[in-house]
Amino acid sequence: MAASMDKEYVLITGATSGIGYALAEVFASHGYGLILVSSTMSHLLTAQCKLKAEYAVPILIYEQDLAVNDAAFKLYASLKADDVRFNILINNAGLGLIGKSETLDADRELQMLTLNIISLTMLCKLFIAEHQQSGGRILNVASIGAFQPGPYTASYYASKAYVLSYTQAIRCEAKNSGIHISVLCPGSTHTAFFTKAGKPTPKFAGSPERAAKAAYHGLMKDQEIIIPGMMNQLIRWLPKRLKMAAVAKMKI
């Protein structure tokens, strides 16, 4: 497969819907080859078909559930076996759970933490080690919730706070390596997050396309923290107690 890797490629996790799919569209529109990763092959095939109909770029697909132990290493092993190389890593895959902490299913919560924290961390670790000489870019997707505690989304918000903190730290470590690292902190977005949680999507939710465009331009400008939308940028600086009360009211 190495012979076909004659252009820049971006690997996107959670690439079949929401912000992940919108990111695939944005990068394809700029001529990047795509490596799409998801836990469901049927969704990957559908996304690949739709993107091929719109963009004349190569599109590779990999089925890998990143919510299981050692998933990042398994994915990298598959890529190595196929001699697939890429210049940009986008850790978009994520899971959120809504409810009082003691009522959440423990196994599902462990899967969320594995996906949101462990797999993201290991993928960054592997990418940075491999690109010390060649350089590259990493975009980690956090949330506007990364800046505050989240009642009724306690472990989810905490996992996104980890993503924000971790990304800022490795960005500092990598500043002389040619690897540019950014974090995307979108606000509420029209994705499957609220549907899966059995909650209505907030009326003020933004579009995945807007978030993806902001992410692309911010990443290319080496912006440290990317927050789409003026309202979300203002929310970041509101008092934590006020934001916590608002979040608790939405989740009850």
Domain chopping of the chain, boundaries: 2-251
* Catalytic positions, written as ranges: 156
In 30-137, which ranges are continuous DSSP H helix? 41-54, 71-81, 106-113, 120-130
The dihedral through the CA atoms of 16, 19, 21, 27 has a sign that is negative
Provide the whole-model pTM: 0.90
Radius of gyration of the chain (CA): 17
The Cα–Cα gap between 221 and 111 comes to 33
The pLDDT score that the predictor gives to residue 40 is: 98
Tokens of 22: 């919108």
> Quick one: angle between helices 106-113 and 154-173, nearest 10?
20
The Cα–Cα gap between 71 and 123 comes to 9
The pLDDT score that the predictor gives to residue 75 is: 99
> What kind of fold does domain 2-251 have according to CATH?
Rossmann fold (3.40.50)
Mean pLDDT of all residues belonging to the chain: 91
**Residue 210: how many CA atoms within 13 Å on its side-chain side?**
15
Distances (CA, A) of 19 to 22, 161, 187, 212: 5, 19, 12, 6
pLDDT, one tens digit per residue, over 17-61 is 999 999 999 999 999 999 999 999 999 999 999 999 999 999 999
The pLDDT score that the predictor gives to residue 7 is: 81
3-class DSSP state for residue 136? strand
Q: With 50 as the cut, is the pLDDT of residue 1 above it?
A: no
The Cα–Cα gap between 35 and 79 comes to 10
Contact at 8 Å (CB) between 236 and 144? yes
Distances (CA, A) of 99 to 47, 72, 148, 200: 31, 28, 17, 14
Closest alpha carbon to 215 in 142, 163, 160 = 142
